[in-house]
Amino acid sequence: MKFKTPQTLSQIADLTNSEFVGDPNFIITGINEIHVVNKGEIVFVDHPKYYTKALNSLATTILIDKKVDCPIGKTLLISDDPFRDFNKITKHFNPFIAATENISNNSTVGEGSIIQPNVFIGNNVTIGKNCLIHPNVTIYDNSIIGNNVIIHANTVLGADAFYYKNRSDGFDKLISGGRVILKDNVDIGASCTIDKGVSGDTIIGEGTKIDNQVHIGHDTIIGERCLIASQTGISGCVIIEDRVTIWGQVGINSGVSIGEGAVILGQTGVTKSVTGGKSYFGTPIAESREKLKEMAEIKRFLKDRKNS
């Protein structure tokens, strides 16, 4: 999430009531999660397991819950609760603005696009040319939709990330400040849900086609010309490269990658990253020929044991 105006380290420290290490005039351009953070941005870390990863990331300001040596060229914000203060930054720079109409007057709809009845379009949404948005679609704030996009009924773009911290008094929600971006020529089926990024973007690449009842989690990036069949569930922070085919009822774990041109057969559990150009099946996932051969051998073994 980029700030509209760059901030200084001391300004963010004042906002979060945190100590800081570094030049008070050090420029900060936004906040982001560790897997997508860039130079100029803040990343937060609140577990020793991830200290090294955060400190060595592209982030140039680290919001952290322990005093550590500051890497050269970077700054620190020392907080007793980085999760809370990351939320504080998100709310300050990207506050929730309640809608007052079904289609916000500060959103734009391109020439030739058709918006069917009962569609909700939030603040600062951009819809390209020659799109077709069917009834009861909900498009949350700041979403970006390219040209020639079709979205079928009851689909929701931009719901919050499913991201919580387990505290003694219950689950604490990490506030989502990211966006959903659909590139040109994307088709989205009926009753799909595509969550916005926590601080980055959930992106569906050009020409990708998605069937009914598919869920796509926060910060997932799907490449060009992919096919994703019904009842597939994709967790957050997944990378699906170009021309991947995913058949029905596939489940994909958070943080995995699927290589270009891979085919994931129905009811597969993608528990780890897989390379492109191959067909996969089963849970845990394996190359489909190996998995089907394994299943045949087990069936043969059980039959032989029964007859012995």
Residue 134 is a catalytic residue: no
Structural fold of domain 108-289: UDP N-Acetylglucosamine Acyltransferase; domain 1 (2.160.10)
How much is the pLDDT for 301?
82
Percent of the chain with pLDDT over 70: 100
Which residues of the chain form CATH 3.40.1390.10? 2-93
Single out the catalytic residue among 134, 152, 215, 218.
Answer: 218
With the C-alpha atoms ordered 103, 104, 107, 108, is the resulting torsion angle positive or negative? positive
CA dist 1 → 198, 220, 262 (Å):
8, 15, 31
Residue 267 has pLDDT above 90, yes or no: yes
- The stretch 99-109 carries a mean pLDDT of 96
How much is the pLDDT for 212?
98
Residue 253 has pLDDT above 90, yes or no: yes
Instruction: Give residue 231's region: left, alpha or beta (phi > 0; psi -120 to 50).
Output: left
Q: Which residues pair with 114 in a beta bridge?
A: 132
Q: 77: which residues sit within 8 A by CB, 6+ positions away?
A: 9, 12, 13, 16, 18, 19, 20, 42, 61, 62, 63, 64, 85
Crossing angle for the helix pair 82-93 and 9-16, to the nearest 10 degrees:
110
Residue 193 has pLDDT above 90, yes or no: yes
- The stretch 238-245 carries a mean pLDDT of 98
- The stretch 284-302 carries a mean pLDDT of 88
Give the residue with greater pLDDT, 294 vs 9: 9
Question: Which amino acid makes up residue 136?
Answer: N
Residue 218 has pLDDT above 80, yes or no: yes
Residue 305 has pLDDT above 90, yes or no: no
Please report which helix (H) or strand (E) contains residue 175, including its range.
none
**CA 239 to CA 256: how far, in whole Å?**
7
* Closest by Cα among 62, 104, 101, 60 to 85: 62
Residue 308 has pLDDT above 80, yes or no: no
**CA 231 to CA 246: how far, in whole Å?**
10
- What backbone phi and psi angles, to 5 degrees, belong to 187? -115, 130
Give me 197's structure tokens.
């990024």
Residue 157 has pLDDT above 80, yes or no: yes
Contact 155, 192 (CB under 8 A): yes
- What backbone phi and psi angles, to 5 degrees, belong to 62? -115, 120
- The stretch 5-25 carries a mean pLDDT of 97
- The stretch 218-247 carries a mean pLDDT of 98
CA dist 136 → 121, 183, 185 (Å):
10, 21, 21
Which residues of the chain form CATH 2.160.10.10? 108-289
Percent of the chain with pLDDT over 90: 92
How much is the pLDDT for 263?
98
How much is the pLDDT for 299?
86
How much is the pLDDT for 303?
80
Residue 304 has pLDDT above 90, yes or no: no
**CA 50 to CA 37: how far, in whole Å?**
14
39-72 pLDDT per residue, tens: 999 999 999 999 999 999 999 999 999 999 999 9
Second-level CATH architecture of 2-93: 3-Layer(aba) Sandwich (3.40)
- The stretch 83-92 carries a mean pLDDT of 97
pTM of the model: 0.93
**CA 269 to CA 295: how far, in whole Å?**
16
- The stretch 273-281 carries a mean pLDDT of 97
How much is the pLDDT for 40?
97
pLDDT, averaged across the chain: 96
Residue located via tokens 């993608």: 270
